[in-house]
Amino acid sequence: MSNRIDIKKTYKLYIGGAFPRTESGRTYEVKSSKGVFVANPCLASRKDLKDAVVAARSAYPGWNKATAYNKGQIFYRIAEMLEGRRSQFVDEIILLTGVTKLKAEKEVSESIDRLVWYAGWSDKLSALAGSTNPVAGPYYNFTIPESMGVVGVIAPEAPSLLGLIDAIAPVIVSGNTCIALASSKAPLPAITFAEVLATSDLPGGVINILTGKSSELAPWFASHMDIDGLDISGVPTKLRGELRTAGAENLKRISSFSAASPDRILAFMEAKTVWHPIGN
């Protein structure tokens, strides 16, 4: 057994439910915390982002239409799949960051629990953020929160798995689809997470994951005219102004967050108010 040559994984992108290589043919080297070569993940390009936006936009009507109950169950299914493969994530986190096993275990556990927490939000958002409005006239009038469309997510450098899930889950639980840019230093858990997604009944294209450099890709996220919202929690504060400036071209909704909260879901939703006369 000790003589066996093991099979190493090729880390690719996750776009539209498939695992393509970057169209650019570019990769970059990821090393372990001890400086040993680990993998050559894709250095995604602007064209990869464009492809991912097309996939996310195509997946949007179907995912948005899925019932809240269904979305909640799919979230729970993702948590189930992640739980089943937890040791793989623990190993990858330790390998890339050098944290203790205890700390890596904790990050994976929190990631799973965070998914379950958001699973429960899917069918409670309207009660939280909706209202019927007592207008001064014979009209029935109500306001409901609705997803906004395609949202970009720049995940933080660390923690690589929890940071990614913290950013993705609140975006898609309401019905948005997303394109996430993974941590560039520790992208492997993100791609392994894509394998979890691929086996979780989540329709292809709802979550798309790119690996690469935030400094190269984040400005393209910000200026893309078919991205409706952008979570820049993973972008250093001093670089955020530039992204907000670029995002103004289509008045993108751009936010950043410090904690898990329903506000994080609602920041990527729109309030829709509907009026109808009352009469007989």
Enumerate binding residues for other proteins (CB under 8 A).
128-129, 131, 133-137, 139, 141, 143, 148, 228, 240-242, 244-245, 247-251, 253, 255-261, 263-264, 267, 270-277
Interacting residues of 7 by C-beta distance below 8 A, sequence separation 6+: none
Cα separation, 112 vs 117, in Å, equals 9
Q: Which is nearer to other proteins, 28 or 257 (CB)?
A: 257
Q: How near is the Cβ of 120 to other proteins at its closest, in Å?
A: 17
Q: How near is the Cβ of 133 to other proteins at its closest, in Å?
A: 4
Q: How near is the Cβ of 271 to other proteins at its closest, in Å?
A: 5
Q: Which is nearer to other proteins, 5 or 127 (CB)?
A: 127
Q: Which is nearer to other proteins, 43 or 180 (CB)?
A: 180
Residues 228/151, Cβ–Cβ less than 8 Å: yes
Q: How near is the Cβ of 231 to other proteins at its closest, in Å?
A: 9
Residues 200/119, Cβ–Cβ less than 8 Å: no
Classify each residue of 59-72 as buried b or exposed e, where b means 16 or more C-beta atoms within 10 Å of its C-beta. Answer: bbeebbebebeebb
Cα separation, 164 vs 193, in Å, equals 9
Cα separation, 107 vs 148, in Å, equals 30
Cα separation, 263 vs 252, in Å, equals 17
Q: How near is the Cβ of 14 to other proteins at its closest, in Å?
A: 26
Classify each residue of 205-220 as buried b or exposed e, where b means 16 or more C-beta atoms within 10 Å of its C-beta. Answer: bbbbbbbbebeebbbb
Q: Which is nearer to other proteins, 201 or 242 (CB)?
A: 242
Torsion 230-111-13-26 (CA) sign: positive
At position 261, the amino acid (one-letter code) is: S
Q: Which is nearer to other proteins, 100 or 133 (CB)?
A: 133
Q: How near is the Cβ of 127 to other proteins at its closest, in Å?
A: 10
Q: Which is nearer to other proteins, 40 or 69 (CB)?
A: 69
Q: How near is the Cβ of 32 to other proteins at its closest, in Å?
A: 33
Q: How near is the Cβ of 166 to other proteins at its closest, in Å?
A: 11
Classify each residue of 242-272 as buried b or exposed e, where b means 16 or more C-beta atoms within 10 Å of its C-beta. Answer: ebeebbeeeebbbebeeebebebbbbbbeee
Joined together, the tokens standing for residue 217 give 């890709």
Residues 210/48, Cβ–Cβ less than 8 Å: yes
Q: Which is nearer to other proteins, 100 or 273 (CB)?
A: 273
Q: Which is nearer to other proteins, 77 or 264 (CB)?
A: 264
